[in-house]
Amino acid sequence: MSIGRKTLRGLAAAVLSLPALLAAAPAASGEAAAPAAPAAGRTAPPSLLPLTVTNRSGRGEQVYVYVLGTDLATGRLGYANAGGAFTPWPAGSIPPSPAPDAAIPGPAGGAAKTLRLPLGMSGRVYVSFGAKLTFLLTPDGFVQPAPWAPGDPNRDILFDWTEFTYNGSGLWLNTSMVDMFSVPQAVEVTGGDGTRKRTGDLVANGRERIFDAVRNQPGDWAKLIYRRADGTRLRVLSPHKGIDTGLFSPTYLDGYIRQTWTTYRSRTLTVVPFENEPGRKFLGRTDASGVMHFTDASGARVASFPRPSTKDVFGCDGRLHAPNDPVVGPIARTLCAALHRSTLGRLHTQPTRDPARFYTGTVTDHYSRKLHAHSADGKAYGFAFDDVGHFESLVHDGSPRSAGITLTPF
């Protein structure tokens, strides 16, 4: 792993049962962790990185852009203006009070606007169409939009976000569908040597095809689509958010999970979580009480996982919580990815890196399956640990020259 969305640090949790503001950040567990400073002989990233937002959406509404997150040096939450100046949020209140207006007027259709990302910031770049977003502050936190909640003031606004970390090791920039999919976006970075990397593009008419595919999937999947009163299909929620809001069955995966845990009562699961350490393996077996225990090469028990619930799997949390450590977290994230992709219980060495073997079960994460199927390069962040095996929609460069976010046609 290069970036782990569930091992993100430094951003204060939101309150009132709303989720925390998350952003891509270097992880301490997984296939590779990013260092805090540039490697010897490599050009240090600029203090202000040009970030060009290009509007090829084909829509006519006014676009608003927000650069929100945390100052990595101080841990303060705040926002950056178009020039890259970071301003900490003032203290909020209980009940939460409105945050200062941090909206940056975005580019018109067919146009582009270049902002500056300050070095040492991690957060999100939000974009909204036709209306500004509402953000709220508490005495010690920040409340982000949660449009899956019926009372959220942003529920009927067309918006989405990308996630970034920009520090001494360079830029990480990714699209994210972990909570929902709404606005198709592509992200790119140009390195100091002129090399350009890009991901996030959908196939032709990809947004509508994703909505249609989710609508036509038997079961609760169609309930995850939210329409505005004018008929606009605003977003598809992830099944995890669907469970949170009562739209999706909280037992959907239970039978598959039970079958999988039972499989490893009579055979061994081998987890090889570190791509650069193929000899480092953990062996898992399920005991009579339904707990899967893992041992290391010495035979010592190093991790244990009671059988998780459907919600635990879709959220990669609960009984599959992955701490930012060198053993339990990497095993947990491998299990979670394999359960989403319905490879656990069929393929007994994990992770599996052959996408042709993903999502083949009738009971599987069809939301993530459809996102990947309609991505031009097969990459998407359909769930929290979609970076297992490098299937996430992420670009990174250690010495970036510039970066870009393109609102692609829909």
Q: In angstroms, what CA-CA distances link 23 with 245, 375, 381?
A: 23, 21, 12
Per annotation, catalytic residue among 31, 160, 163, 387: 163
Phi, psi of 358 (to 5 degrees): -85, 150
Phi, psi of 188 (to 5 degrees): -150, 160
Taking the CA of residue 298 as centre, how many other CA atoms within 13 Å lie in the half-sphere pointing to its CB? 3
- In the sheet with 48-55, reading across from the earlier edge strand, the strands are 112-118, 48-55, 400-407, 185-191, 196-199
Is there a contact between 406 and 56 (Cβ–Cβ < 8 Å)?
yes
Question: How far apart (Å, rounded) are the C-alpha atoms in residues 404 and 331?
Answer: 34
Q: Is 163 a catalytic residue?
A: yes
Question: How far apart (Å, rounded) are the C-alpha atoms in residues 153 and 134?
Answer: 7
Please report, as a single letter, which amino acid is at residue 387.
D
Q: Is 179 a catalytic residue?
A: yes
Q: In angstroms, what CA-CA distances link 106 with 36, 85, 129, 156?
A: 32, 17, 9, 19
Per annotation, catalytic residue among 179, 188, 312, 386: 179
Angle between helices 328-340 and 254-266 (to 10 degrees): 120
Question: How far apart (Å, rounded) are the C-alpha atoms in residues 234 and 160?
Answer: 10
Residues with catalytic roles: 163, 179
